[in-house]
Amino acid sequence: MSLYAIITSPWRGGELIKEIKASELDSKKFIAEKVEEIKKTVGKGLAINALSGGVDSSTVTMLGHEALGDRLRTVFVDHGLMREGEPQRVVNVFKRLGVKVELVDSKQQFFNALKGIEDPEQKREAITRTFYRDVFGKIVRDTGAKYLMHGTILTDVDETVAGIKRQHNILTQIGIDTEKEFGYQVLEPLIQLRKDGVRKVSKALGLPEEIYNRMPFLGPALAGRVIGEVTPERIAVVRAATVIVEEELAKSGAFQYMAILHKDKVTGMRNGKRDFGQQIEIRCWDSLDARTATPSNLPFSALQRIADRTTREVPGVVSVTYNVTPKPPSTMEAV
């Protein structure tokens, strides 16, 4: 078996996936082997790939297109949990790269699935089910595709299998038989890599810097940044706060930064009157591969600017805090 074998079968009783460290990675060789394997596995059939616009799924999209050309259909699921302007931005980037992206509007399905759920793991499970069983299950039934390619990386597997956090894209490794339950096999060509390795492959594939150096973003999207129930209204609050944090910290050089909406309200005041309002927590991380992370030592003035803008520009927010706890014991996302 090739060193870079695609892992398509289940977790196989705990057999370890062989990690390829970024420092040992020969990107050209990796790409050539993966393209061959994808061709061999899919044969003359059709495959679907799930694009979110992050570096992992973008890299899979380009690998898949190199291997399959028109026999790969690239789908962007608009679950309504995205950052401001994200769906159109992703479609446009890939249009420039000559890749057609199909936008699937699944907003209602996701908000229905998330209704009333507060527990973080149940939330993550609802998102996985909606993505893989409902949305992609229907697409493969409608198209006759037998394979779904997605950008799972080793860090996603580690945390899920260790029981820390169920990453939205982990299926076979926790015993889900995707063929039986959803009607397709999953292909995970990046599963031996971590984020720094994916960035190398992405660059070697000719993706633009705005993709290969893109800040990581989680599959459950803004639902992972809402503590408590996810509703369109609460997503709108965290989305507006995210715009501010991303603008203000764009030049920070940090690995990842985010806004989180808390569940509890706190007493604030505005114009001399009581204002019982929402709390936003800011997190900004220095990290190499997301396995461990430390809070960035941001200038206090940068934090003050974020607090000032957030309380002025996001209706209902009266408190902004900054998390100074490393991972571990924190994790990077709150949910």
Instruction: List the end-to-end C-alpha distance of the chain, in Å, as a whole number.
Output: 38
**DSSP state for residue 83 in the 8-state scheme:** P
- Output 211 or 318, the one with its CB closest to ligand XMP: 211
Contacting residue, 63, 218, 237, 260, with ligand XMP by CB under 6 A: 218
Contacts of ligand XMP in 237-276 (CB under 6 A): 256
Q: Is 327 in the site for ligand XMP (CB under 6 A)?
A: yes
Cβ contact 279:317 at 8 Å: yes
Among 65, 79, 123, 165, binds ligand XMP (CB under 6 A): 165
Whole-number Å distance between alpha carbons of 84 and 274: 31
Applying CB under 6 A, among 150, 168, 214, 239 the residue interacting with ligand XMP is 168
> CA 263, CA 227: separation in Å to the nearest integer?
5
Q: Restricting to residues 4-63, which ones interact with ligand XMP according to CB under 6 A?
A: none
Map residue 77 onto helix, strand or coil: strand
Q: Measured from the CB of residue 128, what is the shortest distance to ligand XMP in angstroms?
A: 8
Q: Which of 10, 208, 216, 268 binds ligand XMP (CB under 6 A)?
A: 216
Collapse the DSSP code of 291 into the 3-class scheme (helix H, G, I; strand E, B; otherwise coil) and give the result.
coil
d(CA 64, CA 51): 11
Unique residue bearing structure tokens 């159109």 = 88
Q: Which is nearer to ligand XMP, 214 or 234 (CB)?
A: 214
Nearest-CA neighbor of 278 among 333, 245, 321?
A: 321
Nearer to ligand XMP, 220 or 277 (CB): 220
Convert residues 100-139 into a mask of x (bound to ligand XMP by CB under 6 A) and - (unbound).
----------------------------------------
Cβ closest to ligand XMP, residue 167 vs residue 311? 167
Stretch 288-307: interaction string toward ligand XMP, x if CB under 6 A: --x-----------------
Q: At closest approach, how far in Å is the CB of 220 from ligand XMP?
A: 5
Number of chain residues interacting with ligand XMP (CB under 6 A): 17
Least distance in angstroms from the C-beta of 267 to ligand XMP: 30
Q: Name the residue nearer to ligand XMP (CB basis): 73 or 165.
A: 165
Residue 116: count of CB within 10 angstroms of its CB: 9
Selected range binding ligand XMP among 109-117, 160-168, 275-283, 315-323, rule: CB under 6 A: 160-168
Cβ of residue 222: shortest distance to ligand XMP, in angstroms? 11
Residue 213 and residue 54 in contact, taking contact as beta carbons nearer than 8 Å: no
What is the side-by-side strand order in the sheet with 72-78? Answer: 101-105, 72-78, 47-50, 147-149, 185-187
What's the closest the beta carbon of residue 268 comes to ligand XMP, in angstroms? 28
Q: Write down the least CB distance from residue 208 to ligand XMP, Å.
A: 21
Phi, psi angles (nearest 5°) of residue 257: -140, 150
Contacts of 234-243 with C-beta under 8 Å, sequence gap 24+, read 234/261, 235/80, 235/81, 237/261, 237/278, 237/280, 237/314, 237/315, 237/316, 237/317, 238/280, 239/83, 239/84, 240/84, 240/313, 240/314, 241/280, 241/310, 241/314, 241/317, 242/83, 242/84, 243/83, 243/84
Q: Which positions touch ligand XMP (CB under 6 A)?
A: 156, 159, 165, 167-169, 216, 218-220, 224, 256, 290, 327, 331-333
